[in-house]
Amino acid sequence: MPPSDKRIMERLDAMVAAGRVTEEEAARLRACEGTDEFGPALAAIRTRHAKVHSDAAVRDGRLTQEEADDALARVHAGEHSSELRARIKRGP
């Protein structure tokens, strides 16, 4: 398990307590820890977080729906760069 994944698991309870991860998402991460399913489970959480921002950006006209869909697809595929996160939050 990569160090970043291990750190996520170490902080999982705190992330649930802070509302960043749901109980269901935490259970899924725990169930697939150390397996090939961990990455997709984590990507689903990151995509959910990104969608909140992309939906707002589309509503405000900062992103088109096509741009938002492309960005979410990249997040779901595992991209988690600071550049992509900034683009989703503030637009092009």
Tens-place pLDDT, residues 34-75: 999 999 999 999 999 999 999 999 999 999 999 999 999 999
Q: How high is the pLDDT of residue 91? A: 67
DSSP assignments along 15-80, one per residue: HHHTTSS-HHHHHHHHHHTTSTTHHHHHHHHHHHHHHHHHHHHHHTTSS-HHHHHHHHHHHHTT--
Tell me the two tokens of residue 39: 């990455």
Q: Max CA-CA distance within the chain?
A: 40
Amino acid at 78: G
Q: Which domain holds residue 40?
A: 3-90
Helix axes 38-59, 3-17, angle to 10 degrees: 60
Q: How many domains does the chain have?
A: 1
In the chain, % of residues over pLDDT 70: 97
State the pTM of this model: 0.83
